[in-house]
Amino acid sequence: MLIYKRRQHLVNVFMWPAQRAAPEDRTVAAHGYHALHWDHGDLTYWAVSDVASDDLGTLAALFQSLP
Residue 3 domain-assigned (yes or no): no
Residue 11 domain-assigned (yes or no): no
Residue 40 domain-assigned (yes or no): yes
Residues in a beta bridge with 36: 27, 47
Residue 5 domain-assigned (yes or no): no
Residue 57 domain-assigned (yes or no): yes
Q: What does the pLDDT read at residue 34?
A: 94
Residue 60 domain-assigned (yes or no): yes
- Residue 65 belongs to what domain range? 26-67
Q: Which residues contact 62 (CB under 8 A, 6 or more apart)?
A: none
Residue 62 domain-assigned (yes or no): yes
Q: Where are the alpha helices (DSSP H) in the chain?
A: 53-64
Give, for all 67 residues of the chain, the pLDDT tens digit. Answer: 888 888 899 999 999 998 876 566 688 899 999 999 988 888 899 999 999 889 888 988 988 898 7
Task: Quote the number of domains for the chain.
Answer: 1
Residue 49 domain-assigned (yes or no): yes
d(CA 46, CA 58): 13
Cβ–Cβ < 8 Å for 45, 37:
yes
Cβ–Cβ < 8 Å for 9, 16:
no
